[in-house]
Structure 1
Amino acid sequence: MAPAPDQSPPREPGDRWRAAYACRTATSRGRLVEEPGSATRNPFQRDRDRIIHSAAFRRLKHKTQVFVAHEGDHFRTRLTHSIEVAQIARALARALGLDEDLAEALALAHDLGHTPFGHTGEDALDECMKDFGGFDHNAQTLRIVTRLERRYAGFDGLNLTWETLEGLVKHNGPLLDAQGRPVARYAKTGIPAAIVEYQTKQDLWLDSHASAEAQAAALADDIAYNAHDIDDGLRAGMFELSELRAVPFLAGLLDEIEALHPGLEKPRATNELVRRVITRFVEDVIGNSEALIAKLGPADVDAIRRAGAPVVAFSDGIAAADKAIKNFLYPNMYRHPRIRLIRQQAADVVRDLFERFSAVPEAMPGEWSADCATLDEGRRARRIADYIAGMTDWYALDEHRRLFDATPSLR
């Protein structure tokens, strides 16, 4: 790894707006494979563009967020979710004096590793891979951008900057504690193998927090989830506006809307609610983060990484509102009887595909089945998981129809 950034990094375009603790392309720790610079784009802009032009990013168009595509054209997919996250991440980065391009790149890439059928597909694939290191979508994102994408003559993956890779791996915070032990979510399973493997090539500081840009992208993910799942749930008729009053934070916003616009029709009232949710959460993050950063007084981005806690964060009040919204959505949306049936059928599709490809690897296309016979069981299972994880919802169903006599309609 390159030495820590200099205390007085070279100035670059936009520096008059950029805080001392922001990431800077001039002091980036660089790429695993050295490349000539671009005459028109800085390194973080090139990362963003490589992500947008990747095959994995295009496939997000047909990957489930909560609903499968047959429910209608207006519901979010992983692609539209990622675009909404990027907009919020840029807004947070701009307000906090951070690098907007890096925040945007991280937001656009954060879900590249998701399987078909959303978290249902991830859970099913994790179960299938339990004897081979499991499956983790953040680790799969790293695997995609460092290995599976094959667009360039000189390297596998996208050869993104260290700062982008760090932010993707630490989307949920540090992976190791101060003693070098896996944090709670990895205490039983250990750090995912894809991350451990890459760590031997390039140290991503797994025991530290990520940059403020990465923290902004992670919170933007939470904000977008809350807002668009409320929107999609109302649009799908899974609950009504009046039921949202069970969440005090939302009740207050609904009272405000009613006072300003008495008798507003449901579609407009829904949009008024959703934009207020986003606005209040974003404004809270900006104000609370400014206070946290001022208290810390970081001289550079490494001070953010070593702060011991996030500096881009919700206040206690909005954190409570975030939890209350999620507590409402879980039983009323994610575990709704309509969704539960679809989830069960989707999980069966993933398990069926894994079992068939495990028994008959040559059932996969040539580039995936080639040399499978020479791989040990674990590496062969990972190859199969890579193939399934890259599928869109529709492609997974098409593959199931090709291989099995009966395929669920997911309706």
Structure 2
Amino acid sequence: MASDVLRMDWSRLLETSRYGRNDGNTGIRSPFQKDIDRIIFSDHFRRLARKTQVHPLNENDHIHSRLTHSLEVASVGKSLGELIGVYLEEKGELPEALQPTDVGEAVQAACLAHDIGNPPFGHSGEEAIKDWFKSKHDIFRHIGPEYEADFTRFDGNAMAVRILLSTGFQRIGMSPTYAVIGALLKYPWPSFKAAKDKFSYFQTEAEAMEKVADTLGLIRLDGRYSRPPLAYLTEAADDICYRIIDIEDGTEMGILDEQFMYDRFARALGLDSSGRYAWLPEAHFRQRNSVLRAKLISEATQEAAALFEVYYDEIMTGTFDVKSSLMEKSVTGICRTIHDVYEQTKGTLFLSRRKATLELGAQNALGRLLDQTMADVDKFCHARQSGLNDKIKALIGPEAMDDISGEDSHCQYKVMMTIVDYISGMTDHYATNLCRKLLGLGY
């Protein structure tokens, strides 16, 4: 490789100091274990228990929520991180003060946090927020296009970063290590540079991202930053889990046949003719799916780590195709099988009658909440009194807007972002119940 090619450095990518404050690395816990603990014990993480993964407001206890999904992704991410930690150690690129387990913990922490910014009702909630803002052109009269894109392209990934960096609702964050922030940056560019509405930070975090990028030694590439290498592992853990688990949940919901996972994956896993698993076809479908899931995750994790090693130089120089992922680079392996089956199946999974009905209701609910909370938003900052504004402040909590001044040129943008902080932080049940109350249907 040419000596003048820019390359990221693990001594910076695995930085253990913290954004916003540095409380030292004392005690028995590693810096990354502290990140894990802070995320797990946060109210943002706790609320994921009542946020949709795929199937909203589900009463079947076997169906995944955002919480169970995040825990599973973190488990896979930890394994991926440790595998790559061993690889870096063998190459002599792992900083001397760190162990492969530290790399695993950094990825694990990012995986735990990867969905904490998601709004209620899953991806349909994201779409509802974007669609509402796209239909409200007048609300952006005092806001520049780069700020407008934060709302019309709203993304839960950016809200997760906002929460971690102490810049979100009520300004209370977790001050994570720089390495964990990097592992979370799957899309290190702002909303107005986004492709397919995927981005990792709002304009409120643009200045913070400058500091994060400088600390981690990210490469500047045409209006964006290079993806931190650990972000590929966070993404791979998420890709592996949601594809497999969405299919498994589909069989639990009766959207897919109970035999579906066996029919599609047993041969690829070598389980269709194995004496040890001869009992599998006749087992209860949950027991059968459990075996298949475990085998799929194990093999996919090993393959994703191997693919990281294959594309290592491209990842470290920022030249890896940003429109691709480790899973999509699989040609004939188990990751390719999982990817293809999911692509063939997701239309059925996402357009089931129950899911479609509830998502239409969810969109109406979020639309109503935004109608109410954003009704007089321009009056917050332009010296015009509104009794409705006082009610919205009381609903959200007046301290959430205490440091926003009408003298600030970005006042309205910040007020709108604070309201979006509030709404995106809601659980499915809270959003549904609040909407009913605002409609006068229940108290």
TM range (shorter): 0.7 to 0.9
Q: Distance in 2 between matches of 1:190 and 1:215?
A: 14
Structure 2 residue aligned with 1:341: 357
> Does 1:85 find its partner at 2:73?
yes
Which deviates more from structure 2 when the two are superposed, residues 93-102 or residues 339-348?
93-102
Partner residue of 1:308 out of 319, 324, 342: 319
CA offset at residue 309 of structure 1? 1.6
CA offset at residue 140 of structure 1? 0.6
Structure 1 residue aligned with 2:145: none
CA offset at residue 351 of structure 1? 0.7
Verify the 8 A CA contact 1:238 1:333 in the aligned structure 2: yes
Change (3 A) 1:286 1:166: closer
CA offset at residue 256 of structure 1? 4.9
Q: Map of 1:307-386 to 2, 5 A cutoff? A: 307-309=318-320, 313-314=326-327, 315-318=330-333, 319-359=335-375, 360-361=388-389, 362-363=391-392, 364-367=395-398, 374=406, 376-386=411-421
Change (3 A) 1:406 1:331: farther
Q: Distance in 2 between matches of 1:192 and 1:369?
A: 18
Q: Distance in 1 between matches of 2:212 and 2:83?
A: 31
- Alpha-carbon displacement from aligned partner over 1:129-165 (angstroms, at most 9, x marks no partner): 34533221111111111135689xxx84211122222
CA offset at residue 122 of structure 1? 1.1
Verify the 8 A CA contact 2:161 2:200 in the aligned structure 1: no
Q: Distance in 1 between matches of 2:240 and 2:262?
A: 19
Structure 2 residue aligned with 1:16: none
Change (3 A) 1:23 1:48: farther
Q: Distance in 2 between matches of 1:406 and 1:246?
A: 47
Q: Distance in 2 between matches of 1:328 and 1:47?
A: 37
CA offset at residue 273 of structure 1? 2.2
Verify the 8 A CA contact 1:110 1:171 in the aligned structure 2: no
Q: Map of 1:30-179 to 2, 5 A cutoff? A: 30-97=18-85, 98=100, 99-130=103-134, 131=140, 132=148, 133-134=150-151, 135-148=154-167, 156-168=172-184, 170-172=185-187, 174-175=188-189
Verify the 8 A CA contact 1:63 1:393 in the aligned structure 2: yes
Structure 2 residue aligned with 1:402: 437
**Any unmatched runs of 5+ in structure 2?**
1-6, 86-99, 135-139, 141-147, 376-387
> Does 1:196 find its partner at 2:206?
yes
Structure 2 residue aligned with 1:221: 238
The residue type paired with residue 114 of structure 2 is H
Verify the 8 A CA contact 1:21 1:304 in the aligned structure 2: no
> Does 1:289 find its partner at 2:308?
yes
CA offset at residue 396 of structure 1? 0.7
The residue type paired with residue 403 of structure 1 is L
Structure 1 residue aligned with 2:379: none
Verify the 8 A CA contact 1:51 1:105 in the aligned structure 2: yes
Change (3 A) 1:275 1:231: same
Change (3 A) 1:190 1:82: closer
Change (3 A) 1:221 1:377: same
Verify the 8 A CA contact 2:161 2:201 in the aligned structure 1: no
The residue type paired with residue 278 of structure 2 is L
- Alpha-carbon displacement from aligned partner over 1:5-29 (angstroms, at most 9, x marks no partner): xx9xxxxxxxxxxxx9766898546
Identity %: 26
1:70 counterpart SS class? coil
Q: Distance in 1 between matches of 2:359 and 2:325?
A: 34
Q: Distance in 2 between matches of 1:184 and 1:144?
A: 22
Q: Distance in 2 between matches of 1:365 and 1:395?
A: 13
Change (3 A) 1:236 1:257: farther
Partner residue of 1:182 out of 193, 199, 204: 193
Which deviates more from structure 2 when the two are superposed, residues 41-50 or residues 29-38?
29-38
1:184 counterpart SS class? coil
- Alpha-carbon displacement from aligned partner over 1:150-208 (angstroms, at most 9, x marks no partner): 89xxx84211122222222x224x438xxxx9363469x99732442433554364644
- Superposition TM-score, scaled by structure 2 size: 0.73
Change (3 A) 1:141 1:191: closer
> Does 1:387 find its partner at 2:387?
no
Verify the 8 A CA contact 2:165 2:173 in the aligned structure 1: yes
- Alpha-carbon displacement from aligned partner over 1:31-78 (angstroms, at most 9, x marks no partner): 333333322222222222211121111111111111234331121111
Verify the 8 A CA contact 1:64 1:393 in the aligned structure 2: yes
Q: Distance in 2 between matches of 1:86 and 1:338?
A: 29
Change (3 A) 1:348 1:312: closer
Q: Distance in 1 between matches of 2:396 and 2:158?
A: 24
> Does 1:264 find its partner at 2:283?
yes
Q: Distance in 2 between matches of 1:67 and 1:256?
A: 34
Change (3 A) 1:396 1:339: same
1:71 counterpart SS class? coil
Q: Distance in 2 between matches of 1:307 and 1:369?
A: 38
2:52 counterpart SS class? coil
Verify the 8 A CA contact 1:116 1:392 in the aligned structure 2: yes
Verify the 8 A CA contact 2:36 2:105 in the aligned structure 1: yes
Which deviates more from structure 2 when the two are superposed, residues 52-61 or residues 359-368?
359-368
Verify the 8 A CA contact 1:171 1:214 in the aligned structure 2: yes
Residues matched between the structures, number? 370
2:165 counterpart SS class? helix
